[in-house]
Amino acid sequence: MIQTGIPYFHPFQAEEASAHCCVLSGLPVPEGPEGRLPLLPAFWIEQFGLADSKLQFNGGDSLRYSDILIPVHPELHAHIKRIQNGIPDLLTAGWDGLNWIQAERLYQWMCWLGVGLLYQEFVRPVDRRPASMNFLKDPGMVHRFSLIHLSLCAVLRKVHYENFDPGSLFIFQSHTYANPRLNFNLKVSLNTLCLSVRAGEVTVMACLQDNGTQIAFFESYFRRFDGITLHPIQLDELFARLSYKAYLMNPRFHYGLAWPEEAEKDATTFVRLEIPEEDREREAFLPWNEQVYGSVLLAQLSPYGMSHADLQGPNQEIVTFLEDSDGRIYEVDAHFNPITDQQKA
């Protein structure tokens, strides 16, 4: 059922988000658990041993996963819990659980993560934000934040994208480990609006509000990894590629929004993608810079003890852990040992 009568609200238009207003509706929320929902469900905190683990935010702060709470009005809890609990439940059912997940719901859940993490950055006072977070004030980014928020609000009211997909989703199979803590990882690149969630044998990556650009241009590349179980290092390299490509995307899109009358029954918000005539000849992406990409890759792989020197090839190219020089995918086991043809057989 779609909820009606909820105010249209954009929590990221103000310089700072309010800790006392619902992130979905702007309505006041009570203090305590009644007015908050955790970003991740409690059963994930237990299943993956995350009770004492912290997430490092792009702005420099860190919080325990169990302490990342998002203000949601009590009357809207049930709507959010359908994705906040429902999607993680199916993901941890393993690869077969994907058969029960609708792509629209999966994208809404990734938007829940994105909006929740943006909220954590916006609730911090402006004078405490590092210069690296200045993108939070960029009008183009704020507009994209509003559209991600609108995609999340599709759990409350009907939203129809007329001629495009709002974002790109990619799903990969990942190795699992005896230590449950090694089976989970959440990666966030807010300035490119990319997220990666590794939960057991399933990893989901999303480029939020890229208008389906990455899936349109690079689906054939990512399809090469179908049926291959990937190591966390390989998944982190894929995320580095995804987020750097998102950074290079030319902002040539405009949007037309048709808001319904509040009194209209089963009201639908229509969103249409428009590319102005003067922008239609522009390339979709700026040129790739191998050394800049190397810095992005290093940021993802430094937790494994890798240095800049480890990522430099003999001809100053950036090495890859995904494929050899002939384009064959590296198939490795959970400990990054090569899998031989005989083992595959």
- Tell me the per-residue pLDDT of 176-232, one tens digit each, with 9 for 90 and over: 999 999 999 999 999 999 999 999 999 999 999 999 999 999 999 999 999 999 999
| The predicted structure's pLDDT at residue 2 | 41
Q: pLDDT band for 345, please (50, 70, 90 cuts).
A: low
127 has a pLDDT exceeding 90: no
Q: Quick one: how far is CA 71 from the chain centroid? A: 20
Q: Per the domain annotation, does 25 fall within a domain? A: no
**How much is the mean pLDDT over the chain?**
91
| The predicted structure's pLDDT at residue 7 | 67
4 has a pLDDT exceeding 60: no
| The predicted structure's pLDDT at residue 255 | 84
| The predicted structure's pLDDT at residue 6 | 64
Q: Per the domain annotation, does 287 fall within a domain? A: yes
Q: Per the domain annotation, does 13 fall within a domain? A: no
- Amino acid (one-letter) located at 156: L
Lowest mean pLDDT among 101-115, 244-258, 321-335: 244-258
Q: What is the span of the domain harbouring residue 190?
A: 33-344
Q: Per the domain annotation, does 24 fall within a domain? A: no
114 touches 170 (CB < 8 A)? no
Q: Per the domain annotation, does 22 fall within a domain? A: no
Average pLDDT over residues 44-56: 96
Q: What is the 3-state secondary structure (H, E, C) of 127-193?
A: HHCCHHHHHHHCHHHHHHHHHHHHHHHHHCCEEEECCCCCCEEEEEEECCCCCHHHHEEEEEECCCC
5 has a pLDDT exceeding 60: no
Q: pLDDT band for 1, please (50, 70, 90 cuts).
A: very low
Neighbour tally for 301: CB within 10 Å: 19
Structurally, the chain folds into a number of domains equal to: 1
